[in-house]
Amino acid sequence: MKAEIITIGDEILIGQIVDTNSQWIAQKLNSIGVSVYQISSIQDEEEHILKALKEAENRVDIVIVTGGLGPTKDDITKKTIAKYFKDDKFVEYPEVIDTIKSLFKKINHPFNEVQKYQAQLPSKATLLMNNLGTAPGMWFYEHNTIFVSLPGVPYEMKGLMKNEVLPRLQKQYKLPFIIHKTIMTYGQGESIIAQKIETVENNLPAYIKLAYLPSFGKVRLRLSAKGGDKLALEKELAVIIDKIYQLIPDVVKGIEGEGSLESNVGSILKEKKQTLCTAESLTGGKIAATLVSVSGASAYYKGGFVTYSAALKTQLLDVSIQMIEKYTVVSAQVAEVMAKNARQKLQTDYAIAVTGNAGPTTDNNDKSVGLVYIAIADKNGVTVNEFNFGNPREKVINRTVTKSIELLEQKISKKI
């Protein structure tokens, strides 16, 4: 079955809020075997809503609409959907009124007549009880298509999806299995990886697809399989993943959801009972934030320095003024001292240090934008690597974070 998600609200279209509802709904639909065909965001405007519903009906089996179910005049979804189904009769549900009163009583909020409108649904709608808010969901079946209208408040929408929508779909329809496995790779571009795994990609069966998802120094390889036999699909995916591992063993770091690069680093450090610290300039603490995003990071990550200015590099990490004047802050020499001294000051087994030009300016030195030095220090000394990550600023910063953790993982795994 194919589904379309329609989010209604001017606040989405003007960028006032980010549409996280569609992402979450798409994930949940995929998990039960429903393929999402299209996601649309439209205005709180009757003509647009009617047009979107008609177009979706002609494309898919399930239409899920979120937003516009409040009691105020700017929320027109319910009336517009009723108009779409030529349903001018509204039915009031006492149980909805009771729920609203109960919710309001808990927060000492008076119940007023406006709230009664929330309990009135088109006669063709099946009530989807919302126990977390005032706006119930609605389920319609017209012209061989399911239409579901849900509130836009994320936690209310999620409650209705989990408790009402997904169970109904699973009960009423025999759905296929859709399985996604995403291989995490670091250090090579998608075109190089594509060349190396071309034989595998060319021999994939029609029901298994491969997608390349590049981002800031890493490429995710998503394999998607659809069919009626879950066990057979999982076995076939395992064989394909093993073939890909054999073709690109130097860049594969595992399966997404089963261990990120930073969690792999943490596991190795914990196993070896070793510790780590960081000294950051252009990344402003983002390497540290990435490392401590892993539960249990306190077992191996001791802390770090964010020395964004030259003065702080001198004050906190003992980088001499003479060295900065001779080489500038964006240099292998400064990165080396940052890593060496951070490790000594915090008494750790390893230290990551980064310095560079993220742009858009070059901070009064002659080093190009995108130039970055990454240093890894251990008991045997310091290894410094030079990179040019180009533009824009966000790309430089994020690639520096990814490459730093990748180099550390290689070091502690004794690959370099």
pLDDT in tens, 280-291: 999 999 999 999
Residue type, 412: I
Q: Cβ(283)–Cβ(252) under 8 Å?
A: no
- How much is the pLDDT for 268? 94
- How much is the pLDDT for 72? 75
- How much is the pLDDT for 291? 96
d(CA 76, CA 79): 6
Q: Which residues does 232 contact at the CB level (< 8 Å), separation at least 6?
A: none
Q: Options 3.40.190.10, 3.40.1710.10, 3.90.950.20, 3.40.630.10; which CATH number does 261-412 get?
A: 3.90.950.20
d(CA 352, CA 394): 20
pLDDT band (50, 70, 90) for residue 369: confident
Is domain 2-172 classified as CATH 3.90.420.10? no
Structure tokens at 392: 């824009």
Question: What are 293-351's pLDDT values in tens digits?
Answer: 999 999 999 999 999 999 999 999 999 999 999 999 999 999 999 999 999 999 999 99
Specify the higher pLDDT residue, 416 or 347: 347
Q: At what angle do helices 46-57 and 77-84 cross, to 10 degrees?
A: 50
DSSP letters, 207-227, are TEEEEEEEETTEEEEEEEEEE
Mean pLDDT of 143-149: 95
416 has a pLDDT exceeding 60: no
Question: What are 71-114's pLDDT values in tens digits?
Answer: 777 778 999 999 999 998 999 999 999 998 998 888 888 888 77
- How much is the pLDDT for 364? 58
Q: Looking at the chain, how many residues does it have?
A: 416
118 has a pLDDT exceeding 60: yes
- How much is the pLDDT for 363? 59
d(CA 247, CA 165): 42
- How much is the pLDDT for 198? 96
Alpha-helical segments (H) within 319-380: 321-327, 332-346
- How much is the pLDDT for 10? 85
What CATH number does the domain located at 177-255 have?
Answer: 3.30.70.2860
Specify the higher pLDDT residue, 186 or 159: 159
Q: Cβ(301)–Cβ(291) under 8 Å?
A: yes
Q: Considering only CA atoms, which of 260, 248, 279 is closest in space to residue 376?
A: 279
- How much is the pLDDT for 285? 97
Question: What are 15-26's pLDDT values in tens digits?
Answer: 888 899 999 999
Domain residue ranges in the chain: 2-172, 177-255, 261-412
Residue type, 107: I
265 has a pLDDT exceeding 90: yes
pLDDT band (50, 70, 90) for residue 191: very high
Mean pLDDT of the chain: 92
- How much is the pLDDT for 366? 62
Question: What are 159-172's pLDDT values in tens digits?
Answer: 999 999 999 999 99
Question: What are 371-403's pLDDT values in tens digits?
Answer: 999 999 999 999 999 999 988 999 899 999 999
What percentage of the chain exceeds 70 in pLDDT?
98
Question: Cis peptide leading into 392, omega within 30 of 0?
Answer: yes
CA distances to 23, 207, 221 from 52, in Å: 19, 30, 33
* H or E, element range at 141: strand 137-142
* H or E, element range at 269: helix 261-272
Phi, psi of 189 (to 5 degrees): -75, 165
- How much is the pLDDT for 288? 98
- How much is the pLDDT for 362? 62
d(CA 196, CA 219): 14
pLDDT band (50, 70, 90) for residue 411: very high
